[in-house]
Amino acid sequence: MRAMADDRRANPANRREMLLQLLRLGGAGAAVGGAGLWLAQRSQRPEEPAAPTVRHSFSIPPDPALPEMAVVQGENHTELVRAAVAALGGIRRFVSPREVVVLKPNVAWDRTPQQGANTSPEVVAEMVKLCWEAGAAKVIVADVSINEPRGCFARSGIGEAARSQGAQVVLPEERRFREVDLGGEVLASWPVFEPFLAADKTINLPAAKHHSLTGASLGIKNWYGILGGPRHRLHQRIHESLADLAGFMRPALTVLDAWRVLLRNGPGGGNLEDVVLKKTVIASTDPVALDAWAAHAYWNLDTGMLPYLEMAAARGLGSARFEDKRVESIQLLDSANLRP
């Protein structure tokens, strides 16, 4: 300190120079600070908009004159689909002219139809035909496969089945997901496959199969296939997330493919011995009742073993008591045997 004071006394020119230097520095500092503040204000990012809350209900108003579930057995795969939909009032009850309909088969695994891990291609093809008959503007077939999607759509036969009937197959590319708030207890903001957000109607086409975590994978579990992101995390609270999904996506109709049922070692399967030919298609306007029926019929699982059913029922999304539903059972005669 003393040395500095001595310097000032010794050289007044230096002192003046130092003051000027300080002023310059102060000015420059103020300019930089001001510019920084201005830039900070200008570059302030707009707040990320919250993911929009979307709930998709395509539920059809109940009709007391019609059954709520149809269980159809027979020898011809496509006739089963047609008969099941007809029993519930016909396709025009579920699809209106000029609608964009998105069909959601299970195309999760790189497996052949015989291995029973995906929906049968015949079910998909027939449902596409029905939608055209109802006057749909566009029919889209989409799923977020677990294995490589192109391979899954090819090996399962679903890609070809859909395209051959004029449907558009949409594969789950990353750019086709949109973050939305699913408004569930476990499922909040989550990326959802866009075709399902833009649909006028959705129709669920699950396969009936065993699942190592839940015991069975049926209609409501099939909605996992509209989600992107790290959906494995949902398996930690699988029943809550299934109930959330049931609330988020309420299809116009669920058509469960039980032509082949993967009874064991699901959901991926692979052993032909685990697949049983049931030659059955079940359609319902109540997705909860349909799952309850199939879980009981094929795995003897009651609702106590599948808590998501009671959770979904408690939220008013359907009834886990399929016994109380109007169920029509149809046995189709083999049309080949009717020929002279």
Partner 1 sequence: MMKYGAALAALAAALIAGCGGRGTADPFPRDDEASGWKMERQPRVFQADNLWQYIDGDAERYLQVGFDNVRNAAYQYRGRVEAAADVYTMKTPRAAAQVLDAESGLGSQPAALGDGGKVYRASIVFRKGRHLVRLVEYQDVPEGQKALMELAQAIARRLT
Q: Which residues bind partner 1 (CB under 8 A)?
A: 108, 110-112, 114-115, 146-147, 155, 211-213, 217, 224, 230-232, 235, 264-268, 270-274
What are the strands, taking DSSP E only, across 155-274?
168-170, 177-181, 189-193, 201-205, 207-211, 215-217, 249-250, 253-262
Q: How far is the CB of 232 from partner 1 (least distance, A)?
A: 3
Shorter beta-carbon distance to partner 1: residue 87 or 227: 227
Shorter beta-carbon distance to partner 1: residue 48 or 273: 273
Shorter beta-carbon distance to partner 1: residue 244 or 286: 244
Where b means 16+ CB within 10 Å and e means fewer, 118-134 reads: bbbbbbbbbbbbbbbeb
Q: How far is the CB of 94 from partner 1 (least distance, A)?
A: 28
**Displacement of CA 84 from its chain's centroid (Å):** 23
Q: How far is the CB of 111 from partner 1 (least distance, A)?
A: 8
Q: How far is the CB of 93 from partner 1 (least distance, A)?
A: 33
Shorter beta-carbon distance to partner 1: residue 8 or 233: 233
Cis peptide before 172 (omega within 30 of 0): no
Shorter beta-carbon distance to partner 1: residue 39 or 213: 213
Q: How far is the CB of 235 from partner 1 (least distance, A)?
A: 6
Shorter beta-carbon distance to partner 1: residue 197 or 238: 238
**Displacement of CA 85 from its chain's centroid (Å):** 22
Q: How far is the CB of 83 from partner 1 (least distance, A)?
A: 29
User: Which of 206, 213, 215 is CA-nearest to residue 234?
Assistant: 213
Shorter beta-carbon distance to partner 1: residue 225 or 287: 225
User: Which of 166, 275, 178, 266 is CA-nearest to residue 218?
Assistant: 266
Q: How far is the CB of 92 from partner 1 (least distance, A)?
A: 35
Strands 69-73 and 100-105, how do they pair? unpaired
Shorter beta-carbon distance to partner 1: residue 266 or 318: 266
Q: How far is the CB of 117 from partner 1 (least distance, A)?
A: 10
3-state secondary structure of 189: strand
Between CA 305 and CA 311, with CA 309 as vertex, the angle to 5 degrees is 110
Residue ranges of the alpha helices (H) in the chain?
2-10, 12-43, 77-87, 121-133, 149-155, 158-164, 194-198, 238-248, 287-299, 307-314, 335-338
Q: How far is the CB of 150 from partner 1 (least distance, A)?
A: 13
3-state secondary structure of 136: coil
In degrees rounded to 5, what are phi and psi of residue 71? Answer: -115, 115
Shorter beta-carbon distance to partner 1: residue 151 or 183: 151
Query: DSSP character for 149?
Result: H
